[in-house]
Amino acid sequence: MSEVIGIKHNDEIFDTQTAKSQGIWGEEIYFDNSNEALQIIRHSCAHLMAQAIKEIYSDAKFFVGPVVDEGFYYDFKTTAKIGEEDLVVIEKKMKEIAKRGLPINKCVMSREEAMKKFASDELKQAVMAKIAGDSFGVYQQGDFEDLCRGPHLPNTKLLHSFKLTKLAGAYLGGDENAEMLTRIYGIAFADKESLNAYIQQLEEAKKRDHRKLGLEMGLFGFDEEIGAGLPIWLPKGARLRRRIEELLTKALIVREYEPVRGPEILKSSVWKVSGHYDNYKENMYFTTIDEVEYGIKPMNCVGHIKVYQSSHRSYKELPLRFYEYGIVHRHEKSGVLHGLLRVREFTQDDAHIFCRPAQIKDEVSNIIDFTRKIMQAFGFDYEMELSTRPDKSIGSDDVWQTATEALKEALQSNGIVYQIDEGGGAFYGPKIDIKITDAIGRKWQCGTIQIDMNLPERFELKYTDENNAFAQPVMIHRAILGSFERFVAILTEHFGGEFPFFIAPTQIVLIPIGEEQLSMAWDIKKHLLGLGVYAEVMDKNETLAKRIRNAEKQRVPLIGVIGEKEATNKTLAIRDRMSKTQYEMKVEEFFNMAETKMKEVSF
């Protein structure tokens, strides 16, 4: 069993000896890689990093240093210019401080005491201005101290498996109009084996970075003249997207979803009814037309509600399933933009289902089945998390209970092992989050299934029930991929650019050795395009070896070489990238194989 870090009591960790001598009782926290232990280890490591920075750069002042999904970070400022090469120096100092075995102690100050203590530190003043209440926790180790609610480890000697990972800039408090601070990220674990495994994963992730591969493979790009966070889809990337859309659309038609489309901009009055104007305005873009304010849509739900309202609805029509590959815009801060993973314009694989409460279970069960087929097609492991009613919410207890139980039953009937996030639901209803694991073990939040009682109430949605009385439908928000942009980024990194044949942007490259074989290559390409298979002919005046190398750099699944012998025998000399084999095949057989490969995957 792992050693005990200490005893957790009132959000503070006491070493076992101190706890025993002072008669302090609480939960034993083990020094392992459990979520709770890692939160404490990484939070303590953030302060260790800040102490090291302070010892190297004496004028350093610190803003915040939280634990995040990828480890921890600290925002700070100093007059010194810090580069990537300085991370090694800071990390070395951290190890030196950790070995000192400094006790980590906590004290509590009143707001007045804290304001006085940090009177000359404008960043600490900014932190305190954001915190309500009259008391502040202050953690101290050696001569370093900082505001923090904790908990932390009892001693720095427990920190030994950490690494600083990257340097970035960050606006103070995330405000683009505020000053720019330096941000350093790091990671920490309970043991060196876990740290080394994570470092190897980071190295593999660098090779698979979708921004690098997207540029190399000609999938997408960004242009400063157009604007940050606004991706440009190049032909190959657009082909990849289109293929995913085609597979989705076929599956949606079979599942009786109806295509709809809402406008890109809607009057602000409708966003006021939906609640977005009051609760989401800072994430939206607005414009004025004929002295009337309009909001560019950040989501598609209002447009779909208007489709529902376009006709009187009967219980016999329900459930109604509407889908749209809807382009939305959100005002993301420049500091969080990241390739296709975080952009300002993106396209959701969005759907909304309007149904009766008794139909929730079956509808959610169908979505879960749909999700399973998609994840299996792309080779993703996945998990689901159920979030229940938060303290601040709307709707009756009965409807919440019905909706929550329906989600649970749908998960259970599909054999899904799930976690429960108590109180983590949206204020308007419970939800299921879909999290996928890629080829190198990273987890990604993608799709979501949300039960909504809020918007049907706000827009006074109705249907006539079997007693000829009006009733309010339940609205289910459903996105499985999340957005095409984010999903393509994840797919690119999951496959390392080695896309399987059924979605590859270019599925075969045809290379005629001489001009005599050129017409045969173009005839084969034309036939393949008719089958929905995308082929390119490489006929540049280059050596055969160079053309093959160029095709391989594009990670094309199949290369078909046509020489004099192949032209005579009506064959192709195939280089199969996936199986790493070479073989010869009759052209007609190849057409049949390609057509079969395109049909192997369906959702």
Alpha carbon distance 233, 351 (integer Å): 23
Strand 443-452, strand 431-437: pairing: antiparallel
Which of 509, 529, 483 is CA-nearest to residue 575?
A: 509
- Structure tokens of 109? 């100050």
How far, in Å, are 121, 317, 366, 377 from residue 413 at the CA level? 57, 25, 11, 22
Phi first, then psi: give them for residue 542, nearest 5 degrees.
-130, 165
330 is catalytic: yes
575 is catalytic: no
527 is catalytic: no
How far, in Å, are 537, 583, 590 from residue 570 at the CA level? 17, 14, 11
Of 304, 330, 494, 547, the catalytic one is 330
350 is catalytic: yes
Alpha carbon distance 7, 547 (integer Å): 65
Q: Is 494 helix (H, G, I), strand (E, B) or coil?
A: helix
Which of 206, 196, 202 is CA-nearest to residue 496?
A: 206
Alpha carbon distance 207, 155 (integer Å): 37
211 is catalytic: no
Alpha carbon distance 217, 505 (integer Å): 9
Alpha carbon distance 107, 603 (integer Å): 57
- Structure tokens of 545? 């070896």
Which of 125, 602, 156 is CA-nearest to residue 378?
A: 602
Of 301, 486, 494, 554, the catalytic one is 301
One-letter amino acid of 187: I
Phi first, then psi: give them for residue 359, nearest 5 degrees.
-95, -5
Of 42, 183, 313, 352, the catalytic one is 352
Going along 356-455, which residue ranges are E strands? 381-387, 418-421, 431-437, 443-452
CB-based contact 144:47 (threshold 8 Å): yes
Q: Is 162 helix (H, G, I), strand (E, B) or coil?
A: strand
CA 91 to the chain's CA centroid:
29
Residue 429 Ramachandran class (φ > 0 left, ψ -120 to 50 alpha, else beta): left
130 is catalytic: no
Of 51, 348, 450, 554, the catalytic one is 348
Of 15, 349, 350, 452, the catalytic one is 350
Of 276, 431, 486, 555, the catalytic one is 431
- Tell me the Cα Rg of the chain: 29
How far, in Å, are 511, 560, 562, 587 from residue 516 at the CA level? 12, 16, 10, 17
Phi first, then psi: give them for residue 554, nearest 5 degrees.
-80, 0
348 is catalytic: yes
Let me know how long the chain is: 603
Catalytic residues: 301, 330, 348, 350, 352, 431, 477
